[in-house]
Amino acid sequence: MRIALHHFISCIALLVLTSTGFAQNKIVVFQSDFGLKDGAVSAMKGVASGVSFDLKLYDLTHEIPAYNIWEAAYRLQQTVPYWPAGTVFVSVVDPGVGTSRKSVVLKTNSGHFIVTPDNGTLTLIAASEGIAEIREINEAVNRRKDSQKSYTFHGRDVYAYTGARLAAGAITFDQVGPVLPAQVVKIPYQAPALEGGKLKGNISILDVQYGNVWTNITGDLLNQLHPQYGDILHVTFFHNGKKVHETDAPYSQTFGAVAEGKPLSYLNSLLQLSFALNQGNFAATYHIGSGSEWSVEVTLSPKK
């Protein structure tokens, strides 16, 4: 009887904690464009540790190019699904720090929390994981003590502090601040689509180590063209709608399926259509970039 009662109480407690929005796993993951040459990242972690020594603090990356909100958005989409529900992400790429942009916490449908300025950073994660709720950070209570005169380091004074308090259970999600409409500031980009036998997509990111070009065209969408390994994909690259380069790229399972220095198309580790040169740098060779203004069009060439 005592065991059954204890189990019942535990279940009720779990339901209460879930309904109030606690982040129970005490994990905080940081992302920024600060780099590691100075003490900015360490200061954010110091603030988080001051909230609770029980927190586990991790880095997503601090090498986002300066002011590059799009890349911040992409790295969240790339990474968030692989962390347990309840994880709190603090993402600070904030060229508008101190301006009227809102400071928010987004709770995804998957149960993750993103603490960030609402400046476009949430564009992709809101689309991929969905919005359960968004709250504006009430800085009157969710701000590091005696930091009111600091206007240029909200990453330390507001975001790290609020994210740590949420992850530690010092506040509930409800206590972050007032509820906002379930929408975010969006960066426009080419969504993946198949139109009249032509695939269209965005160049989301470059594989920075090797220069491979990653698009947002999923393997499932590509399969609607019914390509077989060895078939030729004809791809055209655009920047702000202007053609930059076009080429034929055999659809390949591995890089070694083509000769060294030759182009190929393949599915990357996220199962999205990508382009590479075998042991070469595709992006540098053909002057291809990434971001919301870069796009591709892909067709399956007729078999000879």
**176 CB neighbour count, 10 Å cutoff:** 27
Structure tokens at 290: 């990434």
Kind of pairing between the strands at 27-32 and 88-92: parallel
CB 45 within 8 A of CB 32: no
Give me the residues paired with residue 179 across strands.
Answer: 135
The pLDDT tens digits of the residues spanning 107-136 come to: 999 999 999 999 999 999 999 999 999 999
pLDDT score for 147? 62
The pLDDT tens digits of the residues spanning 130-181 come to: 999 999 999 888 887 776 666 667 778 899 999 999 999 999 999 999 999 9
Phi, psi (5° rounding) for residue 70?
Answer: -60, -45
Q: State the Cα torsion 29-35-39-40 to the nearest 10°.
A: -60
CB 195 within 8 A of CB 44: no
pLDDT score for 6? 46
Question: Which domains, from first to last, does the chain contain?
Answer: 2-180 (3.40.50.10790), 193-300 (2.40.30.90)
Q: Examine the pLDDT at 20 and tell me if it is beyond 50.
A: no
The pLDDT tens digits of the residues spanning 63-120 come to: 999 999 999 999 999 999 999 999 999 999 999 887 888 999 999 999 999 999 999 9
